[in-house]
Structure 1
Amino acid sequence: MGYIAFTIGFIVFFFVLAFLSTTFSIPADAMLPIGGLLLLVMIIAIAAYAALS
């Protein structure tokens, strides 16, 4: 179950990242820290979800 959530989260994460970069025309070097932060939040969320279920 956790792997399914992780995979879906990962796909959504990249779609959101691509959407943000195209919508706000943020340069690639500025997307790295934002992407890293989102990835960290996603990992914490998945870990919390896995711990609760």
Structure 2
Amino acid sequence: RVNDLKFLVLRVPFLSMHCITKQVDGTWRATKPPISPNKHAAVEPFDWRFFK
């Protein structure tokens, strides 16, 4: 869905180093390292400005 793609395109630059890693073979693998509440709070309002 187009909205999902927009969501990922905007979100990956902020969270790719935290929760998504790209494998050598080109596939994507989600990881769940601990993310501090402050980091989460700083990213979420930015996302919602686009999607609300």
The answer to whether TM tops 0.5 is no
Would you tell me which structure has more helix in proportion to its own residues?
1
Superposition TM-score tier, normalisation by shorter sequence: 0.3 to 0.5
Query: With structure 1 as the length reference, what TM-score do the two structures score?
Result: 0.36
> Larger RCO: Structure 1 or Structure 2 (Cα < 8 Å, ≥ 6 residues apart)?
1
Would you tell me which structure has more strand in proportion to its own residues?
2
Query: With structure 2 as the length reference, what TM-score do the two structures score?
Result: 0.36
